[in-house]
Amino acid sequence: MKIKLCSVPVDSQDNAQAFYTGVLGFEVKNDIPIGEHRWLTVVSPDAPDEVELLLEPTEFPAAKTYQSALLEAGIPWTGFAVSDVRAEYARLVEQGVVFTGEPVDAGGTTIVVFHDTCGNLIQLYQV
């Protein structure tokens, strides 16, 4: 068994695609029309055949409620591993990404959290 797909709820697939590709640097793997939405996945350019991130519309009311609750509580929806949190933080700040604070050491792991412009907090971490 292997994790191959995970999802993040987004309030706009178009905005999410622009942010996750144009700002974060992921690449579109699938963009398949499904009714009024799309099966829209992105991958890391360093691992295009590994885990896909589904940018999933928040049409299901419970998903929107859960997304809002996590955001209000300051809890990241998910986390992305990076080799240098401080360098990634600096790069993203230059691109206008809004962070909740600066990188901090959390017992051997450095973390920082940002807003993804689509209703979520996302954590970057470096072990």
Question: Is domain 5-126 classified as CATH 3.10.180.10?
Answer: yes
The model's pTM is: 0.95
Tens-place pLDDT, residues 70-119: 999 999 999 999 999 999 999 999 999 999 999 999 999 999 999 999 99
Tens-place pLDDT, residues 44-64: 999 999 999 999 999 999 999
Q: What are the tokens at 84?
A: 């240098």
